[in-house]
Structure 1
Amino acid sequence: MYVDNANIPFRGHLMCHMLADSIPELHAMADAIGMQRRWFQPKSFPHYDVPRDRRDAAVRLGAIEVDRRGIVRVMRRLRADPVFVAAMKQERERHADAMGHG
Protein backbone atom coordinates (compact mmCIF):
# COMPACT_ATOMS: atom_id res chain seq x y z
CA MET A 1 0.00 0.00 0.00
CA TYR A 2 1.40 3.37 -1.05
CA VAL A 3 0.38 7.00 -0.68
CA ASP A 4 2.16 9.85 -2.39
CA ASN A 5 2.72 13.37 -1.14
CA ALA A 6 0.68 15.18 -3.81
CA ASN A 7 -1.38 18.17 -2.70
CA ILE A 8 -4.00 18.43 -5.45
CA PRO A 9 -6.83 20.83 -4.58
CA PHE A 10 -10.28 19.30 -5.05
CA ARG A 11 -13.55 20.55 -3.53
CA GLY A 12 -11.87 22.18 -0.56
CA HIS A 13 -9.53 19.26 0.15
CA LEU A 14 -5.92 18.51 -0.66
CA MET A 15 -5.77 15.12 -2.35
CA CYS A 16 -3.05 12.54 -2.90
CA HIS A 17 -2.95 9.15 -4.63
CA MET A 18 -3.26 5.75 -2.98
CA LEU A 19 -2.40 2.52 -4.75
CA ALA A 20 -1.39 -1.00 -3.81
CA ASP A 21 0.34 -4.14 -5.01
CA SER A 22 -3.08 -5.74 -5.57
CA ILE A 23 -6.55 -4.41 -6.18
CA PRO A 24 -8.09 -6.34 -3.26
CA GLU A 25 -5.45 -4.79 -0.97
CA LEU A 26 -6.28 -1.35 -2.34
CA HIS A 27 -10.02 -1.80 -1.75
CA ALA A 28 -9.41 -3.18 1.75
CA MET A 29 -7.42 -0.09 2.74
CA ALA A 30 -9.98 2.18 1.13
CA ASP A 31 -12.68 0.48 3.21
CA ALA A 32 -10.56 0.77 6.35
CA ILE A 33 -10.12 4.53 5.95
CA GLY A 34 -13.74 5.23 4.99
CA MET A 35 -13.46 5.67 1.24
CA GLN A 36 -16.49 4.88 -0.89
CA ARG A 37 -16.03 2.27 -3.60
CA ARG A 38 -17.51 4.66 -6.18
CA TRP A 39 -14.43 6.85 -5.70
CA PHE A 40 -12.20 4.11 -7.09
CA GLN A 41 -10.45 5.13 -10.32
CA PRO A 42 -9.53 2.14 -12.50
CA LYS A 43 -9.03 3.81 -15.88
CA SER A 44 -5.51 5.27 -15.94
CA PHE A 45 -4.15 3.12 -13.12
CA PRO A 46 -6.16 1.53 -10.29
CA HIS A 47 -6.08 4.06 -7.45
CA TYR A 48 -8.04 6.27 -5.12
CA ASP A 49 -7.61 10.01 -4.76
CA VAL A 50 -7.45 10.39 -1.00
CA PRO A 51 -7.89 13.52 1.15
CA ARG A 52 -4.96 14.32 3.44
CA ASP A 53 -6.74 13.25 6.64
CA ARG A 54 -7.52 9.82 5.20
CA ARG A 55 -3.96 9.62 3.86
CA ASP A 56 -2.77 10.03 7.44
CA ALA A 57 -5.13 7.23 8.51
CA ALA A 58 -3.73 4.98 5.75
CA VAL A 59 -0.19 5.67 6.95
CA ARG A 60 -1.20 4.79 10.52
CA LEU A 61 -2.55 1.48 9.10
CA GLY A 62 0.72 0.71 7.33
CA ALA A 63 0.69 2.52 3.98
CA ILE A 64 4.15 3.46 2.75
CA GLU A 65 4.71 7.15 2.09
CA VAL A 66 6.39 7.89 -1.25
CA ASP A 67 7.08 11.01 -3.24
CA ARG A 68 5.95 11.60 -6.83
CA ARG A 69 8.89 9.66 -8.25
CA GLY A 70 8.26 6.84 -5.80
CA ILE A 71 4.65 6.44 -6.88
CA VAL A 72 5.76 6.36 -10.53
CA ARG A 73 8.31 3.63 -9.71
CA VAL A 74 5.60 1.56 -8.05
CA MET A 75 3.31 2.01 -11.05
CA ARG A 76 6.06 0.96 -13.47
CA ARG A 77 6.83 -2.13 -11.39
CA LEU A 78 3.17 -3.11 -11.29
CA ARG A 79 2.68 -2.50 -15.02
CA ALA A 80 5.49 -5.03 -15.59
CA ASP A 81 3.70 -7.65 -13.47
CA PRO A 82 1.44 -9.80 -15.72
CA VAL A 83 -0.75 -10.88 -12.78
CA PHE A 84 -1.40 -7.27 -11.79
CA VAL A 85 -2.01 -6.23 -15.41
CA ALA A 86 -4.60 -9.01 -15.83
CA ALA A 87 -6.36 -7.94 -12.61
CA MET A 88 -6.24 -4.31 -13.74
CA LYS A 89 -7.92 -5.21 -17.06
CA GLN A 90 -10.62 -7.21 -15.26
CA GLU A 91 -11.28 -4.33 -12.90
CA ARG A 92 -11.60 -1.87 -15.81
CA GLU A 93 -14.11 -4.19 -17.51
CA ARG A 94 -16.11 -4.55 -14.29
CA HIS A 95 -16.12 -0.80 -13.84
CA ALA A 96 -17.25 -0.21 -17.45
CA ASP A 97 -20.05 -2.78 -17.05
CA ALA A 98 -21.17 -1.18 -13.78
CA MET A 99 -21.23 2.24 -15.46
CA GLY A 100 -23.20 0.85 -18.41
CA HIS A 101 -20.31 1.25 -20.86
CA GLY A 102 -19.59 -2.39 -21.49
Structure 2
Amino acid sequence: MTIFVDDAAIMYRSKPCFHMIADSVVELHAFCQQIGINRCWFHNVRGRPHYDITGLQRDLAILAGAIAVSSEELALRTEAGQRTLKRLLERSKDDPLEVARLQQYLRPHTSTEPAPGDTRQLF
Protein backbone atom coordinates (compact mmCIF):
# COMPACT_ATOMS: atom_id res chain seq x y z
CA MET A 1 0.00 0.00 0.00
CA THR A 2 1.42 3.38 -1.02
CA ILE A 3 -0.14 6.54 0.39
CA PHE A 4 0.90 10.04 -0.68
CA VAL A 5 0.28 13.45 0.92
CA ASP A 6 1.02 16.76 -0.77
CA ASP A 7 2.38 20.09 0.41
CA ALA A 8 -0.50 22.20 -0.96
CA ALA A 9 -1.31 24.09 2.27
CA ILE A 10 -4.57 25.42 0.82
CA MET A 11 -6.25 27.65 3.39
CA TYR A 12 -9.67 26.43 4.55
CA ARG A 13 -11.32 28.16 7.52
CA SER A 14 -7.98 29.79 8.38
CA LYS A 15 -6.14 26.45 8.51
CA PRO A 16 -3.81 24.90 5.92
CA CYS A 17 -5.25 21.79 4.25
CA PHE A 18 -3.60 19.11 2.16
CA HIS A 19 -4.54 16.18 -0.08
CA MET A 20 -4.02 12.45 0.42
CA ILE A 21 -4.20 9.78 -2.29
CA ALA A 22 -3.30 6.10 -2.61
CA ASP A 23 -2.78 3.49 -5.30
CA SER A 24 -6.40 2.41 -4.79
CA VAL A 25 -9.48 3.86 -3.15
CA VAL A 26 -9.82 0.77 -0.95
CA GLU A 27 -6.29 1.31 0.40
CA LEU A 28 -6.98 5.00 0.88
CA HIS A 29 -10.13 4.37 2.94
CA ALA A 30 -8.40 1.70 5.03
CA PHE A 31 -5.44 3.97 5.76
CA CYS A 32 -7.66 6.90 6.70
CA GLN A 33 -9.75 4.72 8.99
CA GLN A 34 -6.54 3.45 10.62
CA ILE A 35 -5.37 6.99 11.49
CA GLY A 36 -8.84 8.34 12.34
CA ILE A 37 -9.71 10.53 9.36
CA ASN A 38 -13.46 10.81 8.86
CA ARG A 39 -14.78 9.58 5.52
CA CYS A 40 -16.76 12.81 5.06
CA TRP A 41 -13.47 14.39 3.89
CA PHE A 42 -13.26 11.99 0.94
CA HIS A 43 -13.84 13.46 -2.53
CA ASN A 44 -14.66 10.93 -5.24
CA VAL A 45 -13.60 13.12 -8.12
CA ARG A 46 -13.31 11.03 -11.30
CA GLY A 47 -9.64 10.24 -11.87
CA ARG A 48 -8.59 12.11 -8.72
CA PRO A 49 -10.17 10.47 -5.64
CA HIS A 50 -8.62 12.00 -2.53
CA TYR A 51 -9.09 13.08 1.07
CA ASP A 52 -8.74 16.68 2.20
CA ILE A 53 -6.72 16.63 5.42
CA THR A 54 -5.46 19.11 8.00
CA GLY A 55 -1.84 19.73 8.87
CA LEU A 56 -2.13 17.55 11.98
CA GLN A 57 -3.69 14.73 9.95
CA ARG A 58 -0.91 15.10 7.37
CA ASP A 59 1.68 14.71 10.14
CA LEU A 60 -0.14 11.62 11.46
CA ALA A 61 -0.29 10.16 7.96
CA ILE A 62 3.46 10.65 7.46
CA LEU A 63 4.16 9.04 10.85
CA ALA A 64 1.95 6.11 9.77
CA GLY A 65 3.95 5.66 6.53
CA ALA A 66 2.54 8.09 3.96
CA ILE A 67 5.03 9.63 1.57
CA ALA A 68 5.23 13.43 1.42
CA VAL A 69 5.39 14.76 -2.15
CA SER A 70 4.89 18.06 -3.93
CA SER A 71 1.43 19.04 -5.17
CA GLU A 72 2.64 18.56 -8.75
CA GLU A 73 3.88 15.04 -8.07
CA LEU A 74 0.68 14.12 -6.24
CA ALA A 75 -1.41 15.32 -9.18
CA LEU A 76 0.70 13.29 -11.61
CA ARG A 77 0.15 10.15 -9.52
CA THR A 78 -3.65 10.24 -9.93
CA GLU A 79 -5.35 8.44 -12.83
CA ALA A 80 -6.15 11.74 -14.52
CA GLY A 81 -2.57 12.85 -13.95
CA GLN A 82 -1.29 9.68 -15.57
CA ARG A 83 -3.27 10.46 -18.72
CA THR A 84 -1.83 13.98 -18.74
CA LEU A 85 1.63 12.59 -18.12
CA LYS A 86 1.37 10.28 -21.12
CA ARG A 87 0.40 13.26 -23.31
CA LEU A 88 3.35 15.27 -21.95
CA LEU A 89 5.70 12.38 -22.63
CA GLU A 90 4.48 12.20 -26.22
CA ARG A 91 5.04 15.93 -26.69
CA SER A 92 8.48 15.78 -25.07
CA LYS A 93 9.81 12.74 -26.94
CA ASP A 94 12.62 14.85 -28.53
CA ASP A 95 13.88 16.05 -25.11
CA PRO A 96 15.55 13.12 -23.30
CA LEU A 97 16.00 15.06 -20.04
CA GLU A 98 12.32 15.99 -19.87
CA VAL A 99 11.31 12.42 -20.76
CA ALA A 100 13.51 11.07 -17.95
CA ARG A 101 12.03 13.58 -15.48
CA LEU A 102 8.45 12.71 -16.42
CA GLN A 103 8.96 8.93 -16.54
CA GLN A 104 9.73 8.80 -12.83
CA TYR A 105 6.04 9.55 -12.19
CA LEU A 106 4.65 7.02 -14.67
CA ARG A 107 2.91 4.06 -13.06
CA PRO A 108 3.24 0.98 -15.27
CA HIS A 109 -0.23 -0.39 -14.41
CA THR A 110 -2.16 2.77 -15.34
CA SER A 111 -4.26 2.53 -18.44
CA THR A 112 -5.71 5.40 -20.44
CA GLU A 113 -8.38 3.04 -21.79
CA PRO A 114 -11.80 2.98 -20.10
CA ALA A 115 -12.84 -0.07 -18.14
CA PRO A 116 -15.09 -2.52 -20.00
CA GLY A 117 -18.62 -1.11 -20.10
CA ASP A 118 -17.46 2.43 -19.22
CA THR A 119 -18.97 4.71 -21.85
CA ARG A 120 -17.78 8.01 -20.35
CA GLN A 121 -15.37 10.20 -22.32
CA LEU A 122 -11.86 10.32 -20.88
CA PHE A 123 -10.96 13.71 -22.29
Q: TM over 0.5, yes or no?
A: yes
Query: Could you list the runs of 5+ residues in structure 1 that have no partner in the other structure?
Result: 90-102
Q: Which is greater in Rg?
A: 2
Which fold has the larger relative contact order, with Cα–Cα distance below 8 Å and residues 6 or more apart in sequence? 1
Matched, 1:69 2:72: yes
Residue 98 of structure 2 corresponds to none
Structure 2 portions without partners, runs of 5+ = 83-106, 119-123
Percent identity reads 37
The Cα offsets for residues 21-69 of structure 1, whole Å up to 9 and x where unpaired, read as 0111100121122211122100252100110100000001110110022
Q: Which residue pairs with 2:38 in the alignment?
A: 36
User: 1:9 deviation in Å?
Assistant: 0.8
Q: CA–CA distance in 2 between the matches of 1:31 and 1:7?
A: 22
Shift of 1:20: 0.3
CA distance in 1, matches of 2:67, 2:75: 14
Q: Within 5 Å, which residues of 2 pair with 1:1-102?
A: 1-44=3-46, 45-75=48-78, 76-77=81-82, 81-82=110-111
> Post-superposition, which runs of at least 4 consecutive aligned residues in structure 1 deviate over 3 A?
none
Moved more, 56-65 or 24-33: 24-33
Higher share of residues assigned helix: 1
Q: What TM-score do you get using the length of structure 1 for normalisation?
A: 0.72
Please provide the CA RMSD for this pair: 2.1
Q: Distance in 2 between matches of 1:27 and 1:8?
A: 22
Residue 73 of structure 1 aligns with an amino acid whose one-letter code is: L
TM-score for the superposition, normalised by structure 2: 0.60
Contact 2:41/2:53 (8 A) holds in 1: no
